C-alpha cells in the first residue's frame, strides 16, 4: 500500500517546504536571538517580498535573468524597509515590556498587509519559474521540477554561508555574543545600536528573499503573511528560539511532520504540527538545540 516512490515524493515535498521555512524562520530566530523580540511582521516581510518580486518581473518583462533580478531586488527592498522601521520606530520601544514589542510588530502586520492590498489588490498573483529551471527530471519514479531541486540546494547553501558568517566574522561573533548574554555586549565595545539595525536588515533580507523565491511555486495572496508567521514560530520554537542550527532542524522536522502527517491523519496534519510545538515547549521550552535563557 505504501509505495516507496510515493513516500519519497512526500518526503521530498516536505524537504522543499522545509527549505522555504528555513529561509523565513532563520530571520525570525536571528532577531529573537539578538534583540529578544518576536517579530510578527516577519511574515509580512515575506509577503511583501513575494509581491515585490512579482512587481519587478512585471516591470522588466520576460527574459532569462528577470526572475533573479526580481528576487534579489525584492529582498534588498525589504531589507531597506526593515532597516527603516528599526531605525525610525522600533528602537524607541527597546527597554519597554515585551507586550509592547509584540503589539508593535502586530501593528506592522496590520499596516503593511493593508498597504499590500492597496497596492496589489486581493486577486491572486503568480510568477512563472525562471526559464533555466522550468523543466523537471525523474528520480525514483518521482517527477522533480528543477526549481525544487534548486531550492533544495539553496537552503543548505544559505545555511552554510550563514553559519560561516556567524563563526568567522566579527559581526558574527557579536551576534553570537548577543544571543548568549546581551548585558556584556556593550562592555565589549560593540556598537550595539548599529548591530541591532544590521541584524534587523539581515533578517528582513532573508524574509524578503524567502517570499520572492516562493513565488514560482505558490500563489501570492493576502493572508499568506499571518499563515506563514505561525509556521515560522513553530519552526523556531521546535529548534530553539535564537538557535541557528535549531532553526534548520526545526524546519526539517516541520516539513516532514506536515507531509507525513497528511498521510497518517489526512485532516489533522496541521494539528500535529501545533501539538509538536506545544510538546516541545512543555518538555524543553528552549527548543531541541537552543539553550535556556538566563
Partner 1 sequence: MRLRRLPWPLVVLVAAFFVPALGSRFYTFVANDVAIWALFATSLNLMVGYTGLVSFGHAAYFGIGAYTTGLLMKKAGVSFLLAFPAAGLLAGAFALVFGFFCVRLTRIYFAMLTLAFAQIVWAICFKWNEVTGGEQGMPEIPYPSFDWMEGLAAVVPLVGGYRTSEYFYFLTLVLVAACLWLLHRIVDSPFGRMLTAIRENAERAEFIGINVRRYELAAFVLAGGFAGLAGGLFGIFNRGVFPDFVYWTKSSEVLIMTLLGGMGSFHGPSLGALVLILLNQQIVSYTEYWPLVLGTILVVLLFGFPGGLAGAAGALWTRAAGRFRRA
Count of CB atoms situated within 10 Å of the CB of 24: 30
Span of 102-110, 155-163, 168-176, 205-213 interacting with partner 1 by CB under 8 A: 102-110
Residues 18-37 that bind partner 1 (CB under 8 A): 36
Interface map 204-243 toward partner 1 (x if CB under 8 A) = ----------------------x---x--xx--x---x--
Quote the least distance from Cβ 251 to partner 1, whole Å: 17
Question: Is 133 exposed, middle or buried, given 0-12, 13-18 or 19+ CB atoms closer than 10 A?
Answer: middle
The distance between the two most distant Cα atoms of the chain, rounded to a whole number of Å, is 62
- Name the one range near partner 1 by CB under 8 A: 21-29, 46-54, 103-111, 206-214: 103-111
Of 247, 245, 79, which Cα lies nearest the Cα of 163? Answer: 245
Tell me if 45 sits within 8 A of 78, measured CB to CB: yes
Q: Does 98 bind partner 1 (CB under 8 A)?
A: yes
| DSSP three-state, residue 170 | helix
Dist CA 57 CA 44 (whole Å): 20
Residue pair 244/203 in contact by the 8 Å Cβ criterion = no
- Minimal distance in Å, beta carbon 109 to partner 1? 7
Pick from 64, 92, 187, 294 the residue near partner 1 by CB under 8 A.
92
Alpha carbons 246 and 252: distance in angstroms, whole number: 10
Output 175 or 234, the one with its CB closest to partner 1: 234
Q: Which of residues 161-200 bind partner 1 (CB under 8 A)?
A: none
Please tell me the distance from the alpha carbon of residue 192 to that of residue 211, in angstroms, as a whole number.
Answer: 29
* CA separation for the pair 213, 60 (Å, rounded): 17
In terms of CB distance, is 17 or 238 closer to partner 1?
238
Is 67 a binding residue for partner 1 by CB under 8 A? The answer is no
Quick check: 256 binds partner 1 (CB under 8 A)? Answer: no
Q: Which of 71, 75, 109, 228 binds partner 1 (CB under 8 A)?
A: 109
- Distance of alpha carbon 213 from the chain centroid: 11
The 10 Å Cβ neighbour count of residue 98 is: 11
The binder of partner 1 chosen from 71, 108, 195, 220 (CB under 8 A)? 108
Contact residue for partner 1 among 6, 59, 100, 140 (CB under 8 A): 100
Exposure of 149 by Cβ count < 10 A (0-12 exposed, 13-18 middle, 19+ buried)?
A: middle
Q: What is the closest distance, in whole angstroms, from the C-beta atom of residue 288 to partner 1 in the complex? A: 14
Shortest separation between residue 107's beta carbon and partner 1, angstroms? 4
Chain positions contacting partner 1, by CB under 8 A: 36, 38, 89, 92-93, 96, 98-100, 102-104, 106-111, 113-115, 117-118, 226, 230, 233-234, 237, 241, 267-268, 270-271, 274-275, 277-278, 281-282, 285-286
Amino acid at each position: 500500500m505504501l509505495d516507496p516512490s510515493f513516500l519519497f515524493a512526500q518526503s521530498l515535498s516536505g524537504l522543499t517546504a522545509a527549505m522555504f521555512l528555513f529561509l523565513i524562520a532563520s530571520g525570525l530566530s536571528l532577531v529573537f536571538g539578538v534583540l529578544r523580540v518576536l517579530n510578527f511582521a516577519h511574515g509580512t516581510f515575506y509577503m511583501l517580498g513575494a509581491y515585490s518580486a512579482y512587481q519587478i518581473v512585471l516591470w522588466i518583462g520576460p527574459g532569462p535573468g528577470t526572475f533573479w533580478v526580481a528576487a534579489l531586488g525584492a529582498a534588498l527592498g525589504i531589507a531597506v524597509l526593515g532597516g527603516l522601521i528599526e531605525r525610525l520606530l522600533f528602537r524607541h520601544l527597546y527597554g519597554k515590556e515585551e507586550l509592547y514589542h509584540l503589539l508593535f510588530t502586530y501593528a506592522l502586520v496590520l499596516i503593511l498587509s493593508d498597504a499590500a492590498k492597496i497596492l496589489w489588490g486581493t486577486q491572486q498573483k503568480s510568477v512563472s519559474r525562471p526559464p533555466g529551471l522550468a523543466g523537471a527530471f525523474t528520480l525514483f519514479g518521482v517527477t522533480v521540477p528543477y526549481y525544487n531541486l534548486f531550492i533544495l540546494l539553496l537552503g543548505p547553501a544559505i545555511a552554510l554561508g550563514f553559519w560561516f558568517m556567524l563563526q568567522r566574522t566579527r559581526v558574527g561573533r557579536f551576534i553570537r555574543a548577543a544571543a548568549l548574554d546581551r548585558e556584556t555586549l556593550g562592555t565589549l565595545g560593540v556598537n550595539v545600536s548599529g548591530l541591532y539595525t544590521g541584524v534587523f536588515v539581515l533578517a528582513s533580507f532573508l524574509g524578503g528573499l524567502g517570499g520572492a523565491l516562493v513565488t514560482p511555486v505558490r500563489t501570492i495572496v493576502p493572508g499568506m503573511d499571518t499563515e506563514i508567521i505561525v509556521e515560522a514560530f513553530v519552526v523556531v520554537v521546535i529548534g530553539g528560539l535564537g538557535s541557528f542550527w535549531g532553526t534548520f532542524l526545526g524546519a526539517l522536522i516541520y516539513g516532514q511532520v506536515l507531509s507525513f502527517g497528511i498521510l497518517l491523519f489526512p485532516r489533522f496534519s496541521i494539528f500535529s504540527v501545533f501539538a509538536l510545538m506545544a510538546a516541545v515547549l512543555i518538555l524543553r521550552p528552549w527548543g531541541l538545540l537552543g539553550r535556556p535563557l538566563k
